[in-house]
């Protein structure tokens, strides 16, 4: 790739990122985003699968209600989304897979990118770069505040370069564009759809997080926390708070009691655990005994066993709080991530390819993650069948932290990450370096 082509390639990624940033969409509703990705992949000559063929309908978690899905489908049509792509994705099936087959035999290599946004309103100040340059979110209350717009641009950039380098490619490349990463709701649906079957190498990654220096690459994070996301609804009986309070059963008090006691769950000697009630709402007015209240909470554990301990305690407390106030409580799991570790055996390969990139200024082999990601389901699937995978970090300074209204990153990271991923895809069939036979190990 000569310098002019490289500059244009980087410019294309920035343009894609800004287009996607302006039109954020939440999990399972990423119709415009997914159709944009699918159309770009198809234009490059990749085999594209979108919709039910790319994700298992039954394995989706935290799917919005039918009315919300219909409203977003209608909005997508109004915004000019191709009806053909939209038809394939109807009902909240917004996963996309692009496949590129090389000219030579080799491994199956998968790369994963996330489609969805965060439910936060974007900074409206004139100093916020996306606002100043005219590509801030056009959707109130929604924003690409976690860098997924950048991840998508990287994925499309990788597709463009690999499509132009097909003669150099050995094996098969699967580009997985996953819905609903926020809340850990989408990865398992792609695993169960079969797209991780037979994968020998899996590369996942994220802009920023614990790597905030442009040109820094972290080869593999460690210490993913297993997590469970729960929605709970308490149902009692509404009544007049002045005239006949004894006829009511206060669902809001039950929810409040549950929230307080959930945060009092005993920690475990086996490792780190977390609980957070992030939202509590209920009641209709100051003079009405609340007949309904709801909680949104999450649990985390250093291992699957620790997360299961937290889930067991949570079930006990929700039931006890409901019994205490003579109300009912129903709860459902709306998201889940498992614990996992990247394959350190791939770190020398990543370091080698980083050394060949002038824009990479520093390399860190591993860093603890200390949070959750549902890409762990993909990692585990690949590892269980004898493959290898990592979750990398692509360093960038941030205007504000992830999920903050002022979040933004240095767009130069797009080119760095895409170049590295392309090099890894082309190098994997011949790793370790001493094996030059053209077949993978």
User: Distance (Å, rounded) from C-alpha 353 to C-alpha 355?
Assistant: 5
Rounded alpha-carbon distances, angstroms, from residue 132 to 3, 127, 135, 332? 29, 7, 8, 42
Give yes or no for a contact between 240 and 288, defined as CB atoms under 8 angstroms apart: yes
Is 23 annotated as a binding-site member? no
Residue 100 backbone dihedrals phi, psi, to 5 degrees = -125, 125
Listing DSSP states for 309-348 in one string gives HHHHHHHHHHHHHHHHTT-EEEEEEEEEE------GGGHH
User: Distance (Å, rounded) from C-alpha 77 to C-alpha 426?
Assistant: 38
Residue 19 backbone dihedrals phi, psi, to 5 degrees = -60, -50
Please, how many CA atoms are within 13 Å of residue 71, restricted to the half-sphere of its CB? 7
Two tokens, residue 271: 């490792």
Which is nearest to 109 in space by CA: 35, 173, 178?
Answer: 173
For residue 133, with 0-12 CB atoms within 10 Å meaning exposed, 13-18 middle and 19 or more buried, which class applies? exposed
Which is nearest to 423 in space by CA: 88, 237, 169, 118?
Answer: 169
Is 206 annotated as a binding-site member? yes
Is 7 annotated as a binding-site member? no
User: Distance (Å, rounded) from C-alpha 156 to C-alpha 39?
Assistant: 11
Is 403 annotated as a binding-site member? yes
User: Distance (Å, rounded) from C-alpha 379 to C-alpha 401?
Assistant: 26
Is 128 annotated as a binding-site member? no
Task: Report the residue count for the chain.
Answer: 441
Rounded alpha-carbon distances, angstroms, from residue 375 to 121, 218, 225, 277? 26, 17, 12, 23
Q: Residue 393: count other Cβ atoms within 10 Å of its Cβ.
A: 23
User: Distance (Å, rounded) from C-alpha 275 to C-alpha 437?
Assistant: 51
Three-class SS state of 149: helix
Binding-site residues from annotation: 146, 148, 182, 206, 403
Binding-site residues from annotation for Mn(2+): 146, 148, 182, 206, 403
């Amino acid at each position: 790739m000569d310098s002019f082509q490289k500059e244009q390639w980087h410019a294309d990624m920035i343009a894609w990122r800004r287009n996607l940033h302006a039109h954020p969409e939440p999990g399972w509703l990423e119709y415009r985003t997914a159709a944009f990705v699918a159309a770009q992949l198809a234009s490059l000559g990749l085999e594209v699968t979108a919709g039910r063929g790319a994700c298992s309908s039954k394995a989706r978690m935290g799917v919005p209600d039918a009315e919300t899905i219909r409203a977003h489908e209608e909005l997508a049509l109004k915004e000019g989304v191709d009806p053909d792509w939209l038809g394939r994705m109807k009902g909240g099936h917004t996963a996309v897979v692009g496949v590129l087959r090389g000219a030579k035999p080799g491994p199956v290599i998968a790369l994963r990118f996330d489609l969805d946004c965060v439910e936060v309103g974007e900074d409206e100040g004139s100093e916020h770069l996306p606002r100043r340059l005219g590509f801030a979110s056009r959707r109130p209350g929604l924003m690409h505040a976690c860098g997924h717009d950048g991840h998508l641009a990287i994925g499309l950039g990788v597709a463009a370069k690999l499509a132009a380098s097909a003669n150099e490619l050995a094996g098969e490349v699967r580009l997985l564009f996953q819905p609903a990463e926020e809340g850990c709701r989408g990865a398992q649906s792609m695993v169960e759809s079969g797209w991780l079957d037979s994968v020998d190498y899996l590369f996942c990654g994220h802009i920023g997080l614990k790597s905030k220096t442009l040109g820094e690459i972290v080869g593999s994070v460690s210490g993913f926390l297993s997590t469970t996301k729960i929605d709970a609804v308490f149902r009692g009986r509404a009544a007049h708070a002045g005239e006949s309070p004894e006829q009511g059963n206060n669902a809001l008090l039950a929810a409040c009691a549950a929230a307080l006691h959930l945060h009092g769950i005993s920690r475990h000697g086996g490792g780190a655990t977390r609980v957070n009630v992030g939202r509590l709402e209920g009641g209709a007015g100051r003079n009405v005994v609340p007949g309904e209240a709801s909680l949104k909470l999450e649990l985390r554990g250093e291992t699957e066993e620790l997360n299961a301990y937290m889930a067991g305690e949570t079930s006990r407390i929700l039931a006890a709080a409901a019994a205490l106030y003579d109300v009912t409580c129903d709860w459902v799991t709306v998201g889940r991530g498992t614990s996992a570790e990247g394959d350190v055996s791939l770190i020398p390969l990543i370091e080698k390819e980083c050394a060949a990139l002038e824009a990479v200024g520093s390399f860190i082999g591993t860093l603890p993650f200390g949070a959750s990601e549902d890409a762990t389901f993909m990692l585990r699937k690949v590892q269980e069948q004898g493959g290898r995978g990592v979750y990398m970090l692509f360093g960038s300074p941030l205007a504000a932290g992830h999920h903050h209204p002022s979040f933004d990153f240095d767009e130069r990271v797009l080119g760095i990450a895409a170049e590295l991923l392309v090099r890894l895809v082309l190098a994997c069939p011949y790793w370790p370096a001493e094996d030059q036979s053209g077949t993978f190990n």
